């Protein structure tokens, strides 16, 4: 029997509740396909700050590196919110593990489950046919650039006393754009063959370089793929105006962070969207949403994004495409039967059967 080692990072908030459902589904898939999943668990985010004083303890990165794939839930919460640059913050764990594992590509599929069309705030005719893949660069740009906060005269307030100044640096290197562009074009070849490349080339030098490199790679190696440039502000509008026109969207780190949350809303709930972070070694899979501290511990979180992240793991890390399709079918069946967690329920649909987090996991397993 093949054994795969999975490193679990439950994190904070609803993390432990939803990751338990992901494991439930993995175990059921393992049983069905004769695979054995062996789990290790490590601390990341706020819980790691509480235990070890840092959001990414060395042991966590080591455990992740020693695994075949990493399943993360979510990190963060008001307990650890701080504006003090010297205090540890949960997101440092996320950024650190992405950097530590060299995860430069983030894939975020946005799809519509037909029976959830009503959960979207957009009209059904606008979201009809939405099926896009956001390819976000994950280890460069503003989130990893040099930054500083300091006091000096230029930052002075009206009283003339020295005041605060701060800067963040947006920097990209050619190879970082080259490798993410290839990922996007390869993804497009397996899909509908269209890439929208997002930038702000009318203002930013990094964007002008981005555009030039993306076009060079396209013209030399991927001329069969349709390529269109789109400015980030226009993209933000068109994503809700004509979302079905997008196939693959490639973007730098911060634009991708914002646009993927916007695109998530098209599907009706953040609780439905998963993501895969890939590099050249161990990959990491997680829901697109955060730790939802407002509903943590209540047993009402939607575990489907976590379960869909398990599906992406089977697809990308283990090439278990039949098992991945099984999960997709099982989730569709559960939703078609009217089962909903609170976040995707529709008050005007009396046939909706509201279930909690654990029950939703059980239903997916039953329908596998």
Backbone angles phi, psi at 282, to 5 degrees: -65, 135
Among 292, 308, 324, 330, binds ligand NAD (CB under 6 A): 292
CB of 168 to ligand NAD, least distance (A): 17
Burial tier of 231 (Cβ tally within 10 Å: 0-12, 13-18, 19+): middle
Cβ 21 vs Cβ 361: under 8 Å: yes
From the list 233, 280, 294, 322, the catalytic residue is: 233
Establish if 251 lies at the interface with ligand NAD (CB under 6 A): no
Two tokens at 202? 């009318």
Number of shown-chain residues binding ligand NAD (CB under 6 A): 22
Q: Which of 74, 97, 134, 248 binds ligand NAD (CB under 6 A)?
A: 74
- Report angle CA 329, 335, 337 to the nearest 5 degrees: 105
Under rule CB under 6 A, residue 22 binds ligand NAD: no
Find the shortest distance in angstroms from Cβ 307 to ligand NAD: 10
CB of 59 to ligand NAD, least distance (A): 19
Interaction mask 93-112, ligand NAD, x per CB under 6 A: -x------------------
233 is catalytic: yes
Give the Cβ contact number of residue 252 at 10 Å: 28
Q: Does 77 bind ligand NAD (CB under 6 A)?
A: yes
Contacts of 77 by beta carbon, 8 Å cutoff, 6+ apart: 12, 13, 46, 90, 291, 293, 296
Binder to ligand NAD among 172, 260, 343, 364 (CB under 6 A)? 343
Quick check: 316 and 142 in contact, CB under 8 A? Answer: no
| Catalytic status, residue 24 | no
Please give the C-alpha separations between residue 84 and each of 65, 87, 88, 318, in angstroms, as whole numbers: 31, 6, 9, 41
As annotated, the active-site residues are 143, 200, 233, 257, 261
- Binding site residues, ligand NAD, CB under 6 A: 14, 18, 74-77, 91, 94, 270-271, 286, 289-295, 301-302, 305, 343
């Amino acid at each position: 029997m093949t054994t795969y080692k999975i490193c679990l990072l439950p994190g904070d908030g609803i993390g432990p509740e939803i990751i338990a459902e992901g494991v439930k589904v993995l175990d059921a898939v393992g049983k069905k396909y004769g695979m054995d999943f062996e789990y290790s668990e490590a601390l990341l985010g706020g819980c790691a700050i509480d235990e070890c004083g840092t959001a990414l303890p060395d042991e966590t990165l080591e455990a992740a590196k020693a695994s075949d794939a990493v399943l993360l839930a979510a990190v963060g919460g008001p307990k650890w919110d701080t504006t003090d640059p010297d205090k540890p913050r949960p997101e440092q764990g996320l950024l650190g593990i992405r950097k530590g594992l060299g995860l430069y590509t983030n894939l975020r599929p946005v799809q519509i489950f037909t029976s959830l069309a009503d959960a979207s705030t957009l009209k059904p005719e606008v979201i009809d046919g939405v099926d896009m893949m956001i390819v976000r660069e994950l280890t460069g740009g503003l989130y990893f650039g040099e930054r500083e906060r300091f006091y000096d005269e230029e930052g002075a307030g009206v009283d003339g006393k020295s005041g605060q100044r701060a800067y963040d640096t947006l920097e990209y290197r050619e190879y970082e754009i080259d490798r993410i562009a290839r990922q996007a074009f390869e993804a497009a070849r397996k899909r509908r063959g269209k890439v929208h490349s997002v930038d702000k080339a009318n203002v930013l030098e990094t964007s002008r370089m981005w555009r030039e490199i993306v076009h060079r790679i396209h013209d030399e190696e991927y001329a069969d793929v349709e390529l269109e440039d789109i400015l980030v502000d226009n993209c933000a509008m068109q994503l809700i105006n004509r979302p079905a026109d997008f196939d693959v969207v490639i973007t730098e780190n911060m634009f991708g962070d914002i646009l993927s949350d916007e695109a998530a809303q098209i599907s009706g709930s953040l609780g439905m969207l998963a993501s895969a972070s890939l590099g050249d070694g161990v990959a990491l899979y997680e829901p697109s949403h955060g730790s939802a501290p407002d509903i943590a511990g209540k047993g009402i979180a939607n575990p489907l994004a976590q379960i869909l992240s398990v599906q992406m793991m089977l697809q990308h890390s283990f090439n278990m495409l039949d098992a991945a399709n099984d999960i997709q079918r099982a989730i569709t069946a559960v939703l078609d039967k009217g089962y909903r967690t609170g976040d995707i329920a529709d008050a005007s649909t009396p046939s909706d059967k509201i279930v909690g987090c654990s029950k939703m996991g059980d239903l997916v397993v039953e329908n596998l």
